[in-house]
């Protein structure tokens, strides 16, 4: 017989043995529909967004006793983008300058020191070209510049340097992330980072413990295979979620909490999968093993881990849902965000809503696992952690 016949027998036999050794969750992930190739995409950039004043409703962690619990942050007007790690807050102003204040966690303030200290008033982070947005994964921060490159600093040298293994000590002065070009937005996670290019492709780097970088061993920056036409991307902890130009959502990584939308829960996939039950999606957000999606009608859906009420389904127990469920009790929403096990939504009138863990909410801890309104002096434009950008009332 031809050698090709025996090769096919060996390959087929290996596949059968491999499948026989899989559990039900692994088989379900293997059989799940792949992410369909999306239409051409033009991801939204934060350039040109309306600017406002930064308002805090709770002090940053590590703030000295007597720090005001809420109010406008001095010096942070004309702000277009914010990122709050819980300890450090970074803002981009309309002129492209970057500012930070709060507790310095191994270089998270970006001012050249790794010594832990508290900065009460915002100070400009120097050495950064004009930026249009800022993002964070814990105390590591990323500024997307107007030329599409990314500058980073903070506690994880490994992530700042695009997965290059050279120690993990913090980077206290901003550095250009090598290889990150043409970037429109980002969705970094706790152990890895993801950047969405203007052509709708996703870049990723960092630790690949649940195949969030695909089926590969390297930690270096790579283009994620199997997903195109992306308009928004977010890390949800053990998995990554992406909205495509045709309104669908794809996910890849770990399925322990059902983030791939596959039941039974478990297994993982470096191959992006279609999350069923979602359509007409325009934005995604990710927290600690929980994901959110916003559709064109202003409805928010959640799936994954529901601890502390993160799913907004009225249940505060540590439960999960692989099926996206509607977050009830919200008006029509235009923007969503997440911080740990807390979900946020901004309605079409600028009202800010939150549900889930009260850790970043200060005095506004929800009494149930349903959305509550966070009082602000004007309409919310964006939100991160303890802070919101507030427009003129």
Q: List per-block mean pLDDT (blocks of 10 residues) for the chain, which spans 393 residues.
A: 37 38 83 81 66 94 88 95 97 97 96 95 95 95 96 91 77 95 95 95 94 92 95 96 96 97 94 96 97 98 96 94 96 97 96 89 69 95 96 84
Q: Which of 257, 249, 368, 234 is nearest to 306 (CA)?
A: 257
pLDDT of residue 38: 67
Question: Positive or negative, the Cα torsion across 359, 81, 109, 170?
Answer: positive
Q: What is the pLDDT of residues 251-288, one digit of tens each?
A: 999 999 999 999 999 999 999 999 999 999 999 999 99
- Record the tokens describing residue 373, joined without a space: 């309104």
35-390 is a CATH 2.130.10.30 domain = yes
Question: Positive or negative, the Cα torsion across 266, 268, 269, 272?
Answer: positive
CA atoms within 13 A on the CB side of 86: 15
What are residue 333's DSSP bridge partners?
347
Q: Quote the distance between the C-alpha of residue 308 and its chain's center.
A: 19
For the chain, how big is the Rg over CA atoms in Å?
Answer: 21
Q: DSSP string spanning 345-358?
A: EEETTS-EEEEE--
At 359 the three-state DSSP class reads: helix
**Angle in degrees, CA 55, 56, 59, rounded to 5:** 160
Q: Which of 291, 177, 192 is nearest to 232 (CA)?
A: 291
Range 141-146 contact pairs with CB under 8 angstroms and sequence separation of 24 or more: 141/83, 141/85, 141/88, 141/90, 141/100, 141/108, 141/110, 142/177, 142/186, 142/188, 142/193, 142/195, 143/90, 143/92, 143/98, 143/174, 144/183, 144/184, 144/185, 144/186, 144/195, 146/47, 146/96
Phi, psi of 133, deg, nearest 5: -160, 155
CA atoms within 13 A on the CB side of 260: 31
pLDDT of residue 50: 86
CB 194 within 8 A of CB 186: yes
Number of H helices, E strands in the chain: 3, 28
Q: Which of 164, 163, 221, 232 is nearest to 197 (CA)?
A: 232
- Record the tokens describing residue 90, joined without a space: 């970074």
pLDDT of residue 168: 63
- Record the tokens describing residue 343, joined without a space: 């979900």
pLDDT of residue 13: 38
Predicted structure pTM score: 0.92
Distance, in Å, from the CA atom of 185 to the CA atom of 226, rounded to the nearest integer, reads 19
- Record the tokens describing residue 237, joined without a space: 């902890």
- Record the tokens describing residue 3, joined without a space: 């050698």
Distance, in Å, from the CA atom of 231 to the CA atom of 213, rounded to the nearest integer, reads 18
Distance, in Å, from the CA atom of 11 to the CA atom of 1, rounded to the nearest integer, reads 16
Q: What is the pLDDT of residues 113-167, one digit of tens each?
A: 999 999 999 999 999 989 999 999 999 999 999 999 999 999 988 898 888 876 6
pLDDT of residue 369: 79
CB 275 within 8 A of CB 260: yes
Question: Positive or negative, the Cα torsion across 146, 147, 153, 159?
Answer: positive
CB 339 within 8 A of CB 138: no
DSSP state of 34: B
Q: Which of 352, 312, 323, 347 is nearest to 333 (CA)?
A: 347
pLDDT of residue 129: 87
pLDDT of residue 265: 92
Phi, psi of 192, deg, nearest 5: -155, 170
Distance, in Å, from the CA atom of 133 to the CA atom of 94, rounded to the nearest integer, reads 10
pLDDT of residue 368: 63
Q: Which of 69, 47, 72, 48 is nearest to 60 (CA)?
A: 69
């Amino acid at each position: 017989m031809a050698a090709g016949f025996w090769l096919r027998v060996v390959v087929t036999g290996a596949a059968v043995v491999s499948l026989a050794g899989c559990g039900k969750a692994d088989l379900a992930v293997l059989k799940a529909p792949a992410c369909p190739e999306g239409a051409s995409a033009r991801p939204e950039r934060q350039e040109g967004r309306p600017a406002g004043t930064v308002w805090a409703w709770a002090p940053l962690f590590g703030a000295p006793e007597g720090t005001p619990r809420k109010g406008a942050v001095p010096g942070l007007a004309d702000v277009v983008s914010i990122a709050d790690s819980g300890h450090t807050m970074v803002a981009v102003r309309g002129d492209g300058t970057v500012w930070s204040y709060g507790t310095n966690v191994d270089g998270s303030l970006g001012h050249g020191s790794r010594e832990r200290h508290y900065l009460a008033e915002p100070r400009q982070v120097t050495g950064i070209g004009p930026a249009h947005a800022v993002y964070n994964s814990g105390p590591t921060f990323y500024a997307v510049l107007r030329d599409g490159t990314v500058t980073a600093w903070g506690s994880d040298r490994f992530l700042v340097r695009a997965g290059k293994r050279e120690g993990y000590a913090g980077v206290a002065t901003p550095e250009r992330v090598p290889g990150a070009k043409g970037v429109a937005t980002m969705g970094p996670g706790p152990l890895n980072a993801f950047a969405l290019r203007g052509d709708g492709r996703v870049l990723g780097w960092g630790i690949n413990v649940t195949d969030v970088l695909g089926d590969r061993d390297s930690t270096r920056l790579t283009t994620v295979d199997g997903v195109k036409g992306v308009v928004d991307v977010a890390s949800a902890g053990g998995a990554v979620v992406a909205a495509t130009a045709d309104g669908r959502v794809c996910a890849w990584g770990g399925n322990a909490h059902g983030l791939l939308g596959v039941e039974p829960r478990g297994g993982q996939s470096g191959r992006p999968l279609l999350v069923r039950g979602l359509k007409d999606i325009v934005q995604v957000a990710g927290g600690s093993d929980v994901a959110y999606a916003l559709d064109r009608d202003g409805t928010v859906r959640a799936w994954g881990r529901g601890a502390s009420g993160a799913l907004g389904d009225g249940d505060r127990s540590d439960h999960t849902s692989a099926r996206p469920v509607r977050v009830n009790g919200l008006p029509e929403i235009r923007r969503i965000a997440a911080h740990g096990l807390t979900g946020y939504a901004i309605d079409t009138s600028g009202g800010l809503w939150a549900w889930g863990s009260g850790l970043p909410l200060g005095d506004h801890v929800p009494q149930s696992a349903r959305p509550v309104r966070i009082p602000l002096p004007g309409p919310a434009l964006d939100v991160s952690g303890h802070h919101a950008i507030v427009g003129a009332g």
